[in-house]
Copies of this chain bind each other. A is one copy, B any other.
Amino acid sequence: MTIREFQEADWPQVWPILREVVRAQETFTYDPNLSPDEAREVWIEPAPGLTVVAVRSERVLGSAKMGTNRAGPGSHVCTASFIVAAGARGQGVGTALCRFALDWAHQRGYAGMQFNAVAASNRTAVSVYERLGFRIVGTVPGAFAHPTFGRVGLHVMYQEL
């Protein structure tokens, strides 16, 4: 598996992955009915941010986007988001993408990486993040409406770099 910068030709593979993740409403606080154009706007980060894809044998397995979390006095902290294709989960794709984002953030000189809204029910993601050095800074109670579990907490997670 290689991780490389997103190219226009990847979109026909990235969009179905993103659409499935967003429609499931299990992980992201995105509008589940995001149009392809809105999705592009959300997912493809203009410089100095970056969007990458994880690829094996020309198949896109997942994608990550990374960039500055807040403007002005908050701009020394970055953030990132990750999606993994349903058929490629449990193979370390998310971990590899997160490691890539951390390396990128280090190189850019960010002071830390923050995840603003991690559904507490998304245990796989939380444990990947914790293994890679993030900790839960706080949890907004019931702020995520999970289709199966109902309202669960939304973690804010952070790692100093």
A90 at interface, CB cutoff 8 A: no
The stretch of A48-56, A67-75, A95-103 in contact with B is A67-75
Known: A116-B116, A151-B111. A31 touches B139 (CB 8 A): no
Among candidates B26, B30, B112, B145, residue contacting A143 with C-beta atoms closer than 8 Å? B112
Q: Which A residues, 70 to 112, have Cβ-Cβ distances below 8 Å to chain B?
A: 70-77, 111-112
Identify whether the interface residues of A are mostly helix, strand, loop, or mixed.
strand
Contact with B along A116-153 (1 / 0, CB 8 A): 11010000000000000000111111111111000100
Q: Oligomeric state, in number of copies?
A: 2
Q: Which of B31, B75, B154, B156 contacts A71 (CB 8 A)?
A: B31
In the complex the two chains form, is B140's CB within 8 Å of A72's CB? no
- Let me know if A16 is at the binding interface, CB within 8 A: no
Q: How large is the interface on A (under 10, 10 to 19, 20 to 34, 35 or more residues)?
A: 35 or more
Instruction: Tell me which residues across on chain B come within 8 A of A137, comparing CB atoms.
Output: 138-141, 156
The residue from B28, B32, B73, B141 contacting A25, defined by CB atoms under 8 A apart = B73
Q: Is A29 positioned at the interface, with any CB of B under 8 Å from its CB? A: yes
| Complex Cα gap A139–B135 (Å) | 12
